[in-house]
């Protein structure tokens, strides 16, 4: 199992709007396409205006297959178009669990 950890910095004062759009537009499309959300966090201190998503995939091949389908999906494209200007930056990385991690 691999985990895709995505960190987004949202424009100040637009967090509620962005999270609401993610919940109602992106999450249903992602779930329909086979993406498995493990966690969705919103920063409360430190680096503010950030959300962190964690998604699980069996391997990179599964990720690539789902990503290709996602990138061709009209609902996903509508979400992306709707969120133009809401994000400042994003970071995307893959993580593998350690041998003692509760998540494998």
Amino acid 50: pLDDT: 97
Instruction: Specify the pTM.
Output: 0.91
6 touches 90 (CB < 8 A): yes
Report the distance separating Cα 47 and Cα 30, nearest Å: 26
Is the pLDDT at 104 greater than 90? The verdict is no
Torsion region of 102: left, alpha or beta (phi above 0 gives left; psi -120 to 50 gives alpha): alpha
């Amino acid at each position: 199992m691999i985990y895709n950890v995505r960190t987004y910095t949202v424009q100040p004062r637009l967090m509620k709007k962005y999270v609401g759009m993610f919940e109602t537009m992106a999450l249903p499309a992602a779930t329909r396409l086979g993406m498995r959300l493990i966690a969705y966090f919103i920063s409360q201190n430190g680096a503010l205006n950030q959300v962190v998503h964690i998604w699980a995939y069996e391997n990179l091949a599964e990720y690539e297959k789902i990503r290709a389908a996602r990138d061709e999906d009209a609902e996903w494209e509508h979400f992306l178009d709707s969120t133009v200007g809401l994000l400042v930056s994003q970071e995307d990385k893959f993580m593998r669990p350690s041998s003692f991690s509760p998540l494998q």
